[in-house]
């Protein structure tokens, strides 16, 4: 059982508390990746006490949504109003009910999964704009919370609204997945005491998604849990992928095609490469698909150092999706103990090494803090050069370009033991630095930075490494 308390989310709780203290109407949106805990946050913070709460119904027409509205309004108000004919009438009825409540007490309205209510030709948004602008915004005791997993809808229609809701937002909360430290604390609260190595691997599969983490069984080991949740017949997360994409995106097949194409490429793909790999025309529709995936936390944009805006690449940054494409989709129905049996598979080691790079990218504040540059302006890139027949190429996992004229070239290595730099690897590192300086022409100081799980084994070849960061450094809070 999940403890009946609101774990973490200190920043979000402070912002919500501040909104309640304000003496004017508050319009709040809460969004983020599906399963990240948006509804749980609001329910726990308000202790389930709302003057009106409505949850949209997935993939249902307008009249079903309006019938649901009528049922909830009558149930929560004690009234017997008929089903409204449209959303304008529905919000008129809501306004009439809220007007009867005490004006000296906070009035909280929670519209959960609002994007699902906005069906074809529903005019939901126009009706909500009328409700807020014509009445709600003038009620000093009113707090309206709009929530949903379809982040792109909330971003386009509420946050970036150019019409009646322009600049009307009081607060926006984009819920991020848990960090490694928050994941460790969450698991401990559930009675799960694992090594940080196992927690990191679990994170590389589930990310910091509370819903997935809540499924872990304290009586099982990490590998047993993964087998149980992903590879057992009809396991809980076996078919999560279809629900995840189909409930978030219309024409979800194209979104899945983009995600799968990105899962096959370590450094990501350019827009032109995506067009070639997916056969989706490189027009405004692809722009919308990529923007929606990015807003929903599935895709991130990265730039190559020294290449300008033309170098933008898209990377799949959703851990669950990456794991699904790499192991779950190909292994369906074959081995219910696949993860336990895959401990020594080269494919698993390769996956762990690549995914640990993403973990580092998602914990850049912790890395910057460990480097002592938390207060220094810096840009983050990846970098690679294919080389030519006369000189070898090179690739840098993470490039931190600092305003104090220092560049950290971060080499990420995921190892079960201390990582050893031998003569061969020392030559590889020196080549990386040499090629980077020659190709980019930078005059800044270069500092080779190793990010490993347990640190470096003592070796005469360690002298090139200026800074070391270990897994434990990622399990920290940032000031």
- pLDDT of 3 reads 39
- pLDDT of 4 reads 46
CATH number attached to the domain at 10-175:
3.40.50.300
Q: Where in the chain is the domain with CATH 3.40.1350.10?
A: 363-474
Q: Where in the chain is the domain with CATH 3.40.50.300?
A: 10-175
**319 near 332, Cβ under 8 Å?**
no
For the question of whether the overall pTM of this predicted structure is more than 0.85, the answer is yes
- pLDDT of 1 reads 30
Strand-pairing partners, residue 382, are: 304
**DSSP 8-state code for residue 455:** -
Q: Where in the chain is the domain with CATH 1.10.10.10?
A: 242-322
Regions of the chain with pLDDT less than 50: 1-4
Top CATH class, 363-474: alpha beta
342: which residues sit within 8 A by CB, 6+ positions away? 327, 348
CATH number attached to the domain at 242-322:
1.10.10.10
- pLDDT of 56 reads 97
Strand-pairing partners, residue 412, are: 451
437: which residues sit within 8 A by CB, 6+ positions away? 446
Among 375, 402, 259, smallest CA distance to 317 is for 259
Write a three-state SS string for 16-41. Answer: HHHHHHCCCCEEEEEEECCCCCHHHH
Q: 122, exposed or middle or buried, with CB in 10 Å at 0-12, 13-18, 19+?
A: middle
- The SS3 call for residue 114 is helix
- pLDDT of 16 reads 96
Residues 7 and 471: their CA atoms lie apart, in Å, by 23
């Amino acid at each position: 059982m999940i403890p009946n308390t609101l774990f973490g989310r200190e920043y979000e709780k402070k912002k919500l508390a501040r909104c309640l203290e304000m003496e004017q109407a508050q319009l709040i949106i809460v969004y983020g990746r599906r399963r990240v805990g948006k509804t749980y946050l609001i329910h726990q913070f308000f202790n389930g006490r709302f003057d009106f709460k409505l949850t949209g119904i997935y993939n249902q027409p307008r009249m079903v949504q309006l019938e649901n509205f009528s049922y909830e309004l009558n149930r929560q108000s004690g009234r017997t109003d008929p089903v409204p004919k449209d959303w304008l009438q529905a919000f008129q009825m809501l306004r009439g009910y809220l007007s009867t409540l005490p004006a000296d007490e906070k009035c909280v309205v929670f519209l959960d999964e609002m994007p699902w209510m906005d069906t074809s030709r529903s005019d939901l948004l126009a009706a909500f704009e009328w409700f807020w602008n014509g009445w709600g915004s003038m009620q000093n005791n009113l707090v309206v919370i709009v929530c949903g997993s379809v982040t792109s809808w909330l971003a386009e229609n509420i946050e970036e609204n150019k019409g009646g809701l322009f600049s009307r937002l009081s607060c926006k909360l984009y819920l991020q997945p848990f960090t490694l430290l928050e994941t460790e604390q969450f698991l401990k609260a559930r009675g799960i005491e694992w090594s940080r190595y196992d927690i990191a691997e679990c994170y590389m599969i589930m990310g910091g998604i509370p819903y997935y983490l809540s499924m872990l069984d304290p009586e099982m080991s990490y590998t047993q849990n993964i087998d149980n949740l992903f590879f057992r017949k009809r396991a809980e997360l076996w078919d999560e992928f279809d629900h995840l994409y189909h409930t978030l995106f219309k024409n979800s097949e194209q979104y899945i095609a983009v995600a799968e194409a990105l899962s096959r490429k370590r450094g990501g793909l350019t827009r032109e490469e995506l067009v070639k790999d997916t056969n989706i025309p490189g027009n405004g529709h692809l722009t919308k698909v990529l923007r929606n995936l990015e807003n929903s936390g599935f895709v991130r944009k990265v730039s190559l150092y020294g290449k300008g805006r033309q170098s933008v690449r898209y990377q799949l940054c959703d851990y669950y999706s990456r794991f699904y494409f790499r192991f779950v989709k190909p292994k369906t129905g074959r081995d219910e103990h696949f993860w336990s049996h895959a401990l020594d598979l080269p494919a698993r080691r390769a996956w762990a090494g690549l995914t640990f790079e993403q973990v580092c990218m998602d914990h850049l504040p912790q890395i910057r803090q460990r480097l002592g540059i938390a207060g220094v302006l810096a840009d983050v890139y990846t970098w690679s050069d294919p080389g030519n027949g006369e000189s070898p190429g090179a690739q840098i996992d993470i490039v931190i370009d600092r305003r104090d004229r220092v560049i950290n070239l971060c080499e990420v290595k995921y190892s079960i033991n201390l990582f050893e730099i031998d003569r061969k690897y020392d030559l590889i590192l020196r080549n990386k630095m040499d090629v980077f300086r020659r190709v980019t022409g930078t005059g800044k100081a270069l500092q080779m930075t190793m990010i490993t799980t347990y640190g470096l084994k003592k070796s005469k070849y360690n002298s090139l490494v200026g800074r070391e960061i270990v897994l434990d450094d990622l399990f920290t809070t940032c000031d």
